[in-house]
C-alpha cells in the first residue's frame, strides 16, 4: 500500500485548503459574474457530503452555505475574502469527515475542484472561446459535474491509491475541459 500511514492527512488538508482559499479569492476577484462564485463552495460542500455523509459538520455547515449562495444570487456581492474563508472551511469539513477513511478524505478534498483548478488554468496562455456571463455559468456546471464525479468515484473507493489516481485524472480533465471558458489573466 503506497499511502499506508496517516502522516499525510493534516499537511495535505492544509495544502489543499490554502490552495482553495487563494484560488477562491482569485476567482472571486476576476469573474465577470461574481454572483455565481457563491455557488462554487455550495457545490463543493455537496460533493464532500456525497463521499463523507457520516459527518455532522457537513450537515451543520449546509444551511450557512445555502444562505450565502442564495444571497449571492439575489444580488448581494460576496467579498472575495468570504469565498476564501468558505473554501478553507470546506477543506476542514472534508478532513473532519474523511480522516478515518482515506479515500473519503481524498474525494472530499478533490471536491473543491474549480476553486483550485480555474485560477491555475487562467495563468496558462490560450484563448477564451466563450465570454461574458455564459462562461462562468458553464464553469459552475462543470464544477458540479466534477464534484459529483470525484465524490462518488474517488471518495467511495476502498484503497487510497485508486482514489488518488481518479482524483488526479479528474482534475486534469477538468482543467482541459474548462480551459476554453476561463478568462485569462496573462496576456
Q: How confident is the model at residue 187 (pLDDT cuts 50, 70, 90)?
A: very low
Dig out the grid coordinates for 128 from the structure: 477564451
Question: pLDDT: is 8 or 169 the higher one?
Answer: 169
What's the pLDDT score for residue 84? 83
CA separation for the pair 115, 5 (Å, rounded): 28
**What does the pLDDT look like over 147-179, one tens digit per residue?**
999 999 999 998 889 999 999 999 999 999 999
Domain ranges of the chain: 9-181
Mean pLDDT of 109-131: 89
Contacts of 36-39 spanning 24+ positions with Cβ under 8 A: 36/72, 36/73, 36/133, 36/136, 36/137, 36/139, 36/140, 37/72, 37/78, 37/83, 37/136, 38/68, 38/69, 38/71, 38/72, 38/73, 38/78, 38/83, 39/69, 39/72, 39/73, 39/140
What's the pLDDT score for residue 1? 45
pTM for this structure?
0.85
Amino acid at each position: 500500500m503506497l499511502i499506508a500511514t496517516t502522516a499525510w492527512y493534516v499537511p495535505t488538508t492544509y495544502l489543499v485548503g490554502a490552495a482553495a482559499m487563494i484560488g477562491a479569492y482569485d476567482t472571486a476577484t476576476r469573474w465577470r459574474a461574481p454572483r455565481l462564485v457563491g455557488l462554487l463552495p455550495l457545490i463543493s460542500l455537496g460533493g464532500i457530503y456525497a463521499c463523507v455523509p457520516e459527518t455532522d459538520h457537513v450537515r451543520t455547515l449546509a444551511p450557512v452555505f445555502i444562505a450565502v449562495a442564495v444571497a449571492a444570487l439575489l444580488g448581494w456581492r460576496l467579498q472575495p475574502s468570504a469565498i476564501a474563508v468558505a473554501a478553507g472551511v470546506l477543506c476542514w469539513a472534508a478532513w473532519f469527515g474523511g480522516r478515518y477513511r482515506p479515500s473519503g478524505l481524498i474525494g472530499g478534498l478533490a471536491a473543491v475542484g474549480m476553486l483550485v483548478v480555474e485560477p491555475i488554468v487562467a495563468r496558462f496562455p490560450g484563448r477564451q472561446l466563450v465570454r461574458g456571463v455564459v462562461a462562468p455559468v458553464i464553469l459552475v456546471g462543470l464544477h458540479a459535474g466534477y464534484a459529483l464525479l470525484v465524490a462518488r468515484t474517488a471518495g467511495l473507493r476502498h484503497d487510497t491509491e485508486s482514489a488518488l489516481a481518479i482524483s488526479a485524472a479528474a482534475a486534469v480533465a477538468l482543467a482541459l475541459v474548462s480551459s476554453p471558458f476561463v478568462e485569462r489573466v496573462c496576456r
